[in-house]
Amino acid sequence: MNKIYRHVLLVFVFLIIICSHLSAQLSANAGSDKNICPGTSTSIGIASPATGGLAPYTYSWSPAAFLSSTTSPNPICTPLDYVTYTLTVTDDTGAVATDIVVVSLNYVFYTNAGNDTSICENSSALLGADLNVTGMGVTYSWSPTTFLNNNTLPKPTSVNPLSTITYTLTATTAACPPKTDQVTVTIIPTPNISAGSDVTIFEGEVTILTATGGFYYAWSPEPVVYEFTANPDVEPIVTTTYYLYGTDDSNKCPAYDSVIVTVIPSEELVFYNTFTPNGDGNNDNWYIGNIYKYPNNRLEIYNRYGKLVYKTSGYTNSWDGKAFGEDLPEGTYFFVLELGDEKGKKNGTVTIID
């Protein structure tokens, strides 16, 4: 009986010990959050990050980025940015517990001099990045101080630099070594835009303007044919100043010029003997300068066989090379233009080119 009693007692004690271990809930401890200097390392977790449950324990850290080990209780972390790590502890019964730890870098890490930039002459550039702010324990110093509105601002302005210049930012905090970064401000020269020499024409004539010195152009006032090219067509009925806006190939830095087209009043019709009615919006209609001065005109167009292919009264430069809605073939056609009001008659040829 004594042997049986001792055996039962030992079993009872063993069960008490087992139950005492099982009664403590498994928990994980990933350690305290860390804030470290850029380029340095720290350990996360603790020597014994699991309590409760039933030993032995296994450990798993995620994500694996920047860690010396994903299975160590307290691995070494060398982060390149803010990271939240999750520790997963599994005990011998398969129970699981988790905890997290945050590893962040001192705010000096996020400061920088900004992106290199190009600006026009006589303009300004904002330096620094959006994360350069005050109130985060960081002080800023820019060099050289040339053209800067304030060399201690997180984001100073380089005001009207005279030539390309590189600035160095030194960001300092009490806890970490200084961080330096550079930004270059490149000056784009103003293009030497020219609208050409002044021109004199007779009323009803079209003249071609000539722009040089740029890459992109825009002419005004309207109407200007091909207004975004270097060589637009204009037909002013009175003396007009045309203004040219031009930029270099970056389309960023503009320059301006102007040209005067002097118009000598004239009643003479100006016939343009070719046009290209291909629907591209350029020279699609047969043009007669000053035709608006003869509102009672009558126009007839004949092919080389003498067949009438087009006629109208009060012609206003609207013929698009069609005969009864059909495109006419390339070739030379003959016109008869009665000016009306007993002002006579004009005739000649006009050529259609595809």
Domains of the chain in sequence order = 26-105 (2.60.40.10), 109-188 (2.60.40.10), 199-264 (2.60.40.10), 270-352 (2.60.40)
Q: Is the pLDDT of residue 1 over 50?
A: no
Per-chain mean pLDDT for the chain: 92
How confident is residue 281, by pLDDT bands cut at 50, 70 and 90? Answer: confident
pLDDT tens string 21-70:
444 899 999 999 999 999 999 999 999 999 999 999 999 999 999 999 99
Residue of 302, 316, 314, 307 lying closest to 347 (CA atoms): 302
How confident is residue 5, by pLDDT bands cut at 50, 70 and 90? Answer: low
Q: Dihedral of the CA atoms 109, 114, 115, 117 (nearest 10)?
A: -170
* Per-residue confidence (pLDDT) for residue 9, from 0 to 100: 47
Enter the tokens of residue 293: 């001065």
Q: Is the pLDDT of residue 267 over 50?
A: yes
pLDDT tens string 139-180:
999 999 999 999 999 999 999 999 999 999 999 999 999 999
Q: Locate tokens 């401890």: which residue?
A: 29
Of 12 and 181, more confident? 181
Q: What are phi and psi of 325, to 5 degrees?
A: 85, -5
DSSP 291: G
Distance CA 227, CA 225 (A): 5
Q: What are phi and psi of 337, to 5 degrees?
A: -120, 110
DSSP 86: E
Distances (CA, A) of 319 to 11, 207, 310, 313, 327: 115, 21, 8, 12, 11
Q: Is the pLDDT of residue 12 over 60?
A: no
Q: Is the pLDDT of residue 4 over 80?
A: no
Enter the tokens of residue 173: 């905090």
pTM over 0.85: no
Cβ atoms < 10 Å from Cβ of 162: 10
DSSP 185: E
pLDDT tens string 70-111:
999 999 999 999 999 999 999 999 999 999 999 999 999 999
Distance CA 299, CA 82 (A): 81
Q: Is the pLDDT of residue 193 over 80?
A: yes
